[in-house]
Structure 1
């Protein structure tokens, strides 16, 4: 594992649930996603880190999620986004083909934050290390619930997340007792229908 991803593993925890990435997926995203990410896919696949609190995912599987959240928003007018990573609780990390790591959505609260990279054009990839090194346990652990959820519900599969039922945006209390294992693509698509996306305050 190269130094950048080794540092992520040191901060978050070692990889888990590795899935081999076919060459067709590497070719599909050349010139669209950072070369360091594609090289990691090629060598180590898509995987979770830290017992599954953070996941590098197959963007193709999440295209419907991107559409559900971003269609008919200002974001879709600014760039072409790909979902490259997510948390166990549905924080979603997007890479824009023109703007890099410029968008994060907290799905359970229907809120987003944006950032502007100092890199652009041919230098856009240079912003990827900063993005990856910004990932922390705290920023992916909603209400310090990951370890209690892991103990109560067990480890997540690659296609699962911890979801609140009822959802917080439907008035759910957002407590440990309301957490369940849910399919990530289906649940994230469902959450997109509950409320308009708004800036995180």
Structure 2
């Protein structure tokens, strides 16, 4: 199936996905009940893949379902069975899709969840499906993580540990919530699902309302 014109235009800006790993027929069938058709077509063409020069990669919702369950727990709004991870950054920003709320974000290291449909419903476009493009349109720098001296870590992590393969992430060892330090000496390359699960269990998550650059407020706890 051809991919959408919007994805074609996006690739002209950021380049095509790399490291493609095809999904099984069973995995693709599951996606039909979760995502808009144009996203399913994307998965059929590229499968699990890497974008934005390694800053993010696409995953199957099953890959991080356990992580999402740990983050959302028994939350009355964020039912973990209805929120599906479809991509994540090298250090743990997880992009999530919900049919009713569109694209939501989990900032794993900060313990923050953002969902514009909940905090700013009056500013939403009528077509929520378009929000699924958002994670691929923002600057690579916004996916970077900064060390204790406020210096970006991604490029140094690539140099030290090598580029990520499908299903991997960069993480701090020990995890920050367990006394780790945000420093390149503590960065390792590891299995994303396993590491994210550990980090999720060390954090308390809150729904955040982003009110402007560098300014946000806590709306309520998650879980």
Normalization by structure 1: what TM-score? 0.86
Moved more, 69-78 or 163-172: 69-78
RMSD: 2.4
Shift of 1:199: 3.8
* Counterpart in the other structure of 1:154: 162
Deviates more, 1:158-167 or 1:9-18: 9-18
* Separation in structure 2 between the aligned mates of residue 47 and residue 29 of structure 1, nearest angstrom: 16
What's 1:108 paired with? 109
Q: Is the 8 A contact 1:66 1:83 kept in 2?
A: yes
1:47 alignment partner in structure 2: 49
Instruction: State the partner residue of 1:96.
Output: 98
Match of 1:85 in 2: 87
**By how many angstroms is 1:14 displaced?**
4.0
CA contact (8 A) 2:28 2:40 kept: yes
Alpha-carbon distance in 1 for matches of 2:80, 2:166 = 30
Which residue of 2 is the match for residue 190 of structure 1? 198
Paired residue for 2:35? Answer: 33
- Higher helix fraction: Structure 1 or Structure 2? 1
- In 1, are the aligned partners of 2:72 and 2:79 still within 8 Å (CA)? no
User: What residue is the counterpart of 1:141 in the other structure?
Assistant: 144
TM-score norm. by structure 2 comes to: 0.78
> Relative contact order (C-alpha < 8 Å, sep 6+): which is higher?
1
1:128 aligns with 2:132: yes
Conserved in 2, the CA contact under 8 Å of 1:12 and 1:137? no
Q: CA deviation at 1:125?
A: 2.4
- Name 1:62's counterpart in structure 2: 64
Residue of structure 1 equivalent to 2:174: 166
What's the CA shift for 1:31? 3.6
How many angstroms apart in 1 are the aligned matches of 2:99 and 2:11?
26
Unaligned runs of 5+ in 1: none
> 5+ unaligned residues in a row in structure 2: which ranges?
147-151, 209-215, 217-223
CA deviation after TM superposition for structure 1 residue 73, in Å: 2.5
1:177 corresponds to = 185
Alpha-carbon deviation of 1:152? 1.0
Looking at structure 1, the residues matched to 26 and 53 of structure 2 have their Cα atoms a distance apart, in angstroms, of: 28
